[in-house]
Structure 1
Amino acid sequence: MDARQITVAAWNAEWATGSSPRGIRVAARLRDVAADLMVVTEGSRDLLPPGGHAIDAGTDWGYASPPHRRKTMLWSRWPLTEVAPIGEGAGKGRVVVAETESSIGRIRVLAVCIPWASAHVSTGRRDASNWSEHLECCDQIQQLASGFDPRVPTVVAGDLNQRVPRGRQPIRVAQRLADVRGPWQLHTAGEIEHGPLIDHIASDLACSAVQAWPGHDDDGRLSDHAGVVARLHSGDIQSDLAPSGEIRDTKG
């Protein structure tokens, strides 16, 4: 392990369990990534690598679910402190923040699984409209981040449920995510092998490499998402936003 950088991974496991044939292969892939920090969404704790330190965002995100399932989990090579999940609204069970003393110094990790477009519209509580839960969660993340100490670098990882640049999502939704991630460089945007991604990694650290893996292996399906890993280190970065932060309409 290079002490001058950290390796961060993010993957949505599509509710695999470590005891199932598919889950055994998902867990093996997560071990092989050899990440220092890992956010696994829609999974269970038995998928996480042995050793290390793990937290989750809670067991209630508004849907009836088996007790072993977690919407958002954070695994770290180092102990996690200052653990704070969002405890209400759209971010409940989906967003948790913690700090750790990493090999490059103290960092903050914001682990997220932002609701998809139709969350709680026709399933779950059935009290939402398209994108309303997603936008509320973005509001909560921005409010949470407004209290972050800027002296501590932040890493954001998990399922953002948006492609960047914008795909089919409304411009206002893409712009809202751009506003939220404004302080952080989105390292996983644009043309990436096995992309375009909706599992992302962002930070106010420098990124030296990004690599994705597909949602399948030689034995078949692993997940409906591609996973991604980034290598981060201290240093200057350049924003991937236009100076105004504007999201341009790529649909014509």
Structure 2
Amino acid sequence: MDNNELTVATWNTMWATGSGPRATRVRNCLRDVNADLLVVTEGRRDLLPDGGYVVDAGTNWGYDVTSTPHRRKTMLWSRWPLTDVVALTSRAGAGRVVTAQTVSSIGPIRILAVCIPWASAHVSTGRCDAKTWSEHLECCDQIEELATQFDPRIPTVVAGDFNQRVPRVRQPVRVADRLTGLMARWTIHTRGVVDHGPLIDHVASDLECTSVRTWPGSDEVGRLSDHSGVVCSLRAATVG
């Protein structure tokens, strides 16, 4: 492991259960990535690597989870202890956004873990009170408001399910523009042409990215997820 670099991975695991062959294969993928920071969306804690420190965004994302209490929309696993944990608890970001700090191999880091709602969230399921893209846009507004409170002296890593391809593919222009505005303070390292892309799971930061590696949503046995996963190597940005 290079102590001058930080590895950050993210993957939507499509609600893999805690047992069974798919869960075992998903768990092995997450372990083999060997990330320092790992954001798992639509997952469970028992999929995460052994050891480390975990926080999540809670269970209140507007859908009944009574029969599936171990599910989490957004989880953050860290090799190092996590402090200053804040999770959104209201409106579209509830249960989907959590932020924390850690002292990493490259110094203090803030991690913003997200699962931004997809286009049809709460339109015909869940609360059934939303319009297409309305939950997504409201969550973007909440993330932007949260980010204004971050200490600019501490680098930020944003990772998770953005539910948009970058640059825009089919989403409405206004939706793509909103994400662009939200992410203007950071660089999306996973944008554009990558293996197994274009991605909707992304890593962004105000650090320098030295490599991007992806893995597909299936293996030689069959389907693992409806998303590709991605891991980035980051280091402190050079000045000058």
Mapped to 1, the partners of 2:175 and 2:132 lie a distance apart of 11
Runs of 4+ in 1 over 6 A off after TM superposition: none
TM-score, normalised on structure 2?
0.98
Q: Contact 1:18–1:27 (CA<8 Å) still a contact in 2?
A: no
Letter in 2 for 1:75: W
1:148-187, aligned counterparts within 5 Å? Answer: 148-187=150-189
1:37 aligns with 2:37: yes
Mapped to 2, the partners of 1:140 and 1:165 lie a distance apart of 22
User: For each residue in 1:28-63, what CA deviation from the matched residue of structure 2 results, as whole angstroms up to 9, or x when unmatched?
Assistant: 000000000000000100000000000100011001
1:205 aligns with 2:207: yes
Letter in 1 for 2:50: P
Mapped to 2, the partners of 1:16 and 1:221 lie a distance apart of 11
Corresponding residue number in structure 2 for 1:63: 63
Mapped to 2, the partners of 1:87 and 1:61 lie a distance apart of 9
- The alpha carbon displacement at 1:174 in A equals 0.3
- The alpha carbon displacement at 1:107 in A equals 0.3
1:35-184, aligned counterparts within 5 Å? Answer: 35-65=35-65, 66-184=68-186
Letter in 1 for 2:42: E
- Percent of residue pairs bearing the same amino acid type: 67
Mapped to 2, the partners of 1:215 and 1:236 lie a distance apart of 34
Letter in 2 for 1:112: V
Mapped to 2, the partners of 1:3 and 1:20 lie a distance apart of 36
- When structure 1 is superposed on structure 2, of 228-237 and 161-170 the one drifting more is 228-237
TM-score, normalised on structure 1?
0.93
- The alpha carbon displacement at 1:71 in A equals 0.3
Mapped to 2, the partners of 1:182 and 1:21 lie a distance apart of 41
Letter in 2 for 1:121: V
Q: Contact 1:6–1:233 (CA<8 Å) still a contact in 2?
A: yes
Mapped to 1, the partners of 2:70 and 2:52 lie a distance apart of 19
- The alpha carbon displacement at 1:236 in A equals 3.8
SS, match of residue 41 in structure 2:
strand
CA RMSD after TM alignment:
0.8
SS, match of residue 175 in structure 1:
helix
Unpaired runs of 5+ residues, structure 1, are 238-252
Letter in 2 for 1:27: R
Aligned length: 237
Q: Contact 1:15–1:42 (CA<8 Å) still a contact in 2?
A: yes
Letter in 1 for 2:61: W
Mapped to 2, the partners of 1:13 and 1:159 lie a distance apart of 11
Q: Contact 1:17–1:24 (CA<8 Å) still a contact in 2?
A: no
Q: 1:218 aligns with which of 204, 210, 220?
A: 220
Corresponding residue number in structure 2 for 1:233: 235
Corresponding residue number in structure 2 for 1:8: 8
- The alpha carbon displacement at 1:21 in A equals 1.2
Mapped to 2, the partners of 1:167 and 1:236 lie a distance apart of 32
